[in-house]
Structure 1
């Protein structure tokens, strides 16, 4: 896969997608959003990829926001379409992805950058990371799921404070808020994220995909997450991975999962 704004490296069943626009602090423009969609779509069926780590190039920024010049003159209908298409093509797509996605936040994650990190299944951050949703300083609100996912992750009060003040929080605050799972030094970040990914990759990919569906169901309007969990739990019994996992346990050996 050849991309202008992305670098992808795969080893030991872990693919690292690096957003590579250092001159723009890896800001999301239309092309980068489309390239990310195509990259995730391709890796979805790649047998050598079980987990994805998403990060930004350099040491300054994960993604420092959206490319404002692309939508500064949009009408109301154009703005609504921009948000709808972006959520469908990338942000919702990542949230509902059937393989684990870990965001490794290596600096500024602002606006669309934080929204992208929040769409990942969980986040780790370097100790120099700064996170925020500054959209109200531009006379607009977060449009790529920020008002929803931030509230789910940190609670209504903290989400509203972050959105209304447009302020940034540091990595320690993000950890205390539950916005990120871990904070490590900048040099350690990628290896740390890969380490977690490697642990995940040893487990049943088919079970993990069903777990993602079940957890996400808790946040879907009109969906009973417990019922989804029961259904997905039952589906696991029909998989080869379930037979292998239970047999390996009874035989006191490590399982060899096929993802089927």
Structure 2
């Protein structure tokens, strides 16, 4: 059997319509999984589904707002009824915010909390229900280096990603008796459409200059690619990683340890 084979497994990828989530969805389908993409942006999700099915992969779209618990539970129940069990959850959906303590509003905090913390909680809650029935499962949460080290003007975002890391440890500990593994990934800066949009919005006319400046904040000298994050997610979700749980994996070009 090929290594990192996901044939016969059902994977749910939240925020799977773009960026890192899209790359994970494509790679998992390539490795044989049946992928359910949970996406608020139906157009982006449908585009990813078409790209996966065009090359012979299996992927299904479920439009879902992860911050709404009743909606999440209903979607996961429908997936379980259709697929039999949920083997893998990639908890990737999230939003960003730029600002320090003083220029982060109460509304900003509530918005970040609803998606990045409550959304992760909702999806883990729904997935664990299915995984306990099967006495197996893998959860991979998308955290960030911002959850572990201080980054300028990322107060609310850092708060949310620190919570993701803590939730990961807690779930990994509590669900050991059910053979459910839970780990998280902490990317550094990754080149996604979001980054291009952020630069274009905040630095018009200086796009190339700012792209190079942001790239060099990683000691390795460049941003990561969504594919590189996806391959780490694939390993952590595979049977080859069956001895790994309760761990945060930085994938950051040396940002945490070499930026001193």
TM-score by structure 1 length? 0.32
Structure with bigger RCO (C-alpha 8 Å, 6+ apart)? 2
Kindly name which structure, 1 or 2, has the bigger radius of gyration based on alpha carbons: 1
